[in-house]
Amino acid sequence: MEENQVISMPRIGENAPEFKAVTTQGNINFPSDYKGSWAILFSHPADFTPVCTSEFMTFASLETKFAEANCKLVGLSVDGLYSHIAWLRTIKEKIEYKGMKDVEVKFPLIEDITMEVAKKYGMMMPGESSTKAVRAVFFVDPKGIIRAIIYYPLSLGRNFDELYRALIAMQTADAFSVATPADWRPGDDVIVPPAGSCGVAKDRMEGKEDIKCYDWFFCTKKIDKDTVLNTVLKK
């Protein structure tokens, strides 16, 4: 990448930047093809590399679980389409890893040899690599709004359990108008009112709907696991 090149960075709460791309599953228009469902757009540094292979096998194995939460997956690297196809075929035909084998990556993998999309989405971080995208993850909601962004360096494989946890937590926050505390998982208490809104006096909250207040600014309530999962996995 040229020095001093302006790199744009999408921001949480803004429309996901639009692009058209060629992928292993045909052409896509992002985010318009994904309206009505959540999408996780993620970049990886390079095909035929070990960390990325472990990630793709893991993500492909979880694709149905994400689909049940109304979330589609879209990968990207600055490699070309034929490299992508050859790599995904190698994964399916040759790699057995941690009990995963015969893994077929059915979600689209974008070819981005011009780095157009990678630059638009701030996936290029020249301090880390000027020729490869870092491991970026963009959560885009059904309206095409960027809701969360997570970045990892080249050497660090992502935690897909955390990506799923974050997805369900955001869907829960939307469905119940709440926020989720540290390390939240379905079945744990949620925070009311949601972070960022005005505090509601402790004495007006307590006693209602299983509400527990730790102080005037910190109240939680119970939502049982089945209620959460029946709501977000049904949508």
**Binding interface with ligand BEZ (CB under 6 A):** 45-46, 49-52, 132, 154-155
- Residue (128 or 174) nearer to ligand BEZ, CB: 128
Residues 31/35/40/46 CA torsion (nearest 10 deg): -40
Alpha helix ranges (H) inside 10-147: 50-61, 63-68, 81-94, 116-120
- Note the residue count of the chain: 235
Angle, helix 81-94 to helix 50-61, in steps of 10 degrees: 70
Residue written as token pair 């995904």: 88
Residue 54 C-beta: closest distance to ligand BEZ, Å: 8
**Which DSSP string do the residues of 99-166 spell out, in sequence order?**
TB-S----S-EEE-TT-HHHHHTT-B-TTT-SSSB-EEEEEE-TTSBEEEEEEE-TT----HHHHHHH
Say if residues 40 and 163 touch (Cβ distance below 8 Å).
Answer: yes
- Return d(Cα 160, Cα 179) in angstroms, integer: 21
Pairing of strands 218-221, 190-192: antiparallel
52 is catalytic: yes
The two tokens of residue 33 are 């093809």
Can you say how many angstroms the Cα of residue 31 is from the centroid of all Cα atoms in its chain? Answer: 14
Residue 129 C-beta: closest distance to ligand BEZ, Å: 7
Residue 151 C-beta: closest distance to ligand BEZ, Å: 14
Question: What does the DSSP 8-state code read for residue 220?
Answer: E
For residue 124, the one-letter residue type is M
- Residue (45 or 144) nearer to ligand BEZ, CB: 45
- Residue (51 or 62) nearer to ligand BEZ, CB: 51
Residue 55 C-beta: closest distance to ligand BEZ, Å: 7
Residue 171 C-beta: closest distance to ligand BEZ, Å: 29
Question: Catalytic positions, please?
Answer: 52
